[in-house]
Amino acid sequence: MAAAAGVSTSTASRALSGHPAVLPSTRARVEAAAAALQYEPNRTASALRTRRTGLIGLVVNSLRSATSHTIAETLQGWAAEHEYQLLVCTTGGDPAREASFLQTVRQHHFDGVVIAGSGANTDLVNALVQADHAVVTMNREVPGSLAPSVMSAYETAARLAAEHLLQLGHTRIAAIEGPPSVTSGRLHDAGFQAAMAAAGVPVLEELVCRGPFTPDFGRWAAAELLGLSEPPTALLVTNHEASFGALPVIGDSELRVPDQLSVICTEDEPFYQWWSPPVTTVDNCAALLAVGAADLLLRQLTSGAQDLPSRRTELVTPALVERGSTAPPPARPPGRRGGVHGGPGAHSAQPATSDSSGAKPSSR
């Protein structure tokens, strides 16, 4: 190709890489020769010379949620704008699959990776940072991680939701939460508890269900709560997976929303606005999460992965979106209703594994 353009190999290489020292006329001649010969640069060889491949990885547990879709699409747009290729790995929340992809990131010299995954694999994350890869973790605390992170302010989200219900006059407020072993489950619970304590309203354990991020658990928890002899007047669901099971149970019950039961969810999903009535939510602002991750990534790509302080965490503040599913409580708390099967007061039991809602369970 260099011979066809009438230049040296080194000049041809500089012309194709956009080196400013190459005259525009020479660059045009080299590009024309490359097009005529259908020349494709050897990216592997180039990566060995420059230690840059133009590849960015994204690890997510799944792409089922609006949050994951928005993060992936926003990062894809950013990558294209900055001339990177984005490769997405879905792991189903499996730390072993995540570890395998992170090893691929290192072996194939990816320039960077955004990890919105299991919260495990600290050693691999730190090895990437120490090897000068740009690394950002998202929405999960990774104990001992050296990588900067961006997270939704989960505690703030649950506090905003609870405060909204309290301001409407509710005191018998129930919550369906994730497990305390997971960042979002632990912080959502902390925010809920803080808002209730600040209002002087006790949190009754019979009104709090904690469990896995699945529609099955949401369905089971909603049935438990609505089946109490004195059901709640308001319900907070702190993850979209549980809401996929909880909302149909609420719709099938005899409790009218919002006249007899107010409902609020976190992690805004498109279908919430089409539900009847439209669901009030606390939006986690997924696009802002992705923009924050891209900014942290770009700073490392341009200044070096060691440029940012270790364990730096940036929080994205969520926003309350009021719709039609919340209102002041009824004048008199409703009694036990038919159509919902209640159970014992222990709210850490596992629900049945069948899923007839049409929504697929996912791990976080």
Residue 337 in domain? no
SS3 24: helix
Tell me the C-alpha to C-alpha distance, in Å, between residue 119 and each of 56, 83, 115, 256, 298: 19, 29, 9, 39, 22
- For the chain, how many structural domains are there in total? 3
- 128 vs 15, residue with greater confidence: 128
Amino acid at 76: Q
Structure tokens at 129: 């940072």
The answer on 268 and 241 residing in a single domain is yes
The answer on 85 and 37 residing in a single domain is no
Confidence bin at 227 (pLDDT 50/70/90): very high
**In sequence order, which residues have a C-beta less than 8 Å from that of residue 287 and are 6 or more positions away?**
70, 74
What is the span of the domain harbouring residue 20? 7-41
The answer on 129 and 103 residing in a single domain is yes
Phi-psi sector, 96: left (phi>0), alpha (psi -120 to 50), beta: alpha
> What pLDDT, on the 0 to 100 scale, is given for residue 33?
67
**Bridge partners of 113?**
57, 135
The answer on 84 and 142 residing in a single domain is yes
Q: What percent of the chain has pLDDT over 70?
A: 77
The answer on 106 and 64 residing in a single domain is yes
Residue 352 in domain? no
The answer on 253 and 177 residing in a single domain is yes
Concatenated DSSP letters of 154-208: HHHHHHHHHHHHHHHT--SEEEEE--TTSHHHHHHHHHHHHHHHHTT----GGGE
The answer on 220 and 105 residing in a single domain is no
The answer on 261 and 186 residing in a single domain is yes
- 40 vs 167, residue with greater confidence: 167
Query: Using one digit for the tens of pLDDT, what is the confidence trace for 14-59?
Result: 666 565 566 777 777 767 766 666 666 555 444 444 457 899 999 9
Instruction: Give the pLDDT mean for 62-86.
Output: 93
Tell me the C-alpha to C-alpha distance, in Å, between residue 243 and each of 213, 251, 359: 9, 12, 10
Tell me: pLDDT of 345 over 50. Answer: no
Residue 357 in domain? no
Q: Does pTM surpass 0.85?
A: no
Instruction: Give the pLDDT mean for 205-222.
Output: 96
Instruction: Give the pLDDT mean for 258-272.
Output: 95
Residue 194 in domain? yes
Residue 350 in domain? no
From the list 349, 329, 162, 324, the residue with the least C-alpha distance to 231 is: 329
| Angle between helix 66-81 and helix 286-303 axes, rounded to 10 deg | 40
The CATH number given to whatever domain includes residue 191 is: 3.40.50.2300
Residue 358 in domain? no
Residue 351 in domain? no
The answer on 256 and 203 residing in a single domain is yes
The answer on 88 and 143 residing in a single domain is yes
The answer on 197 and 158 residing in a single domain is yes
**Bridge partners of 343?**
none
Structure tokens at 146: 């050296």
The answer on 123 and 159 residing in a single domain is no
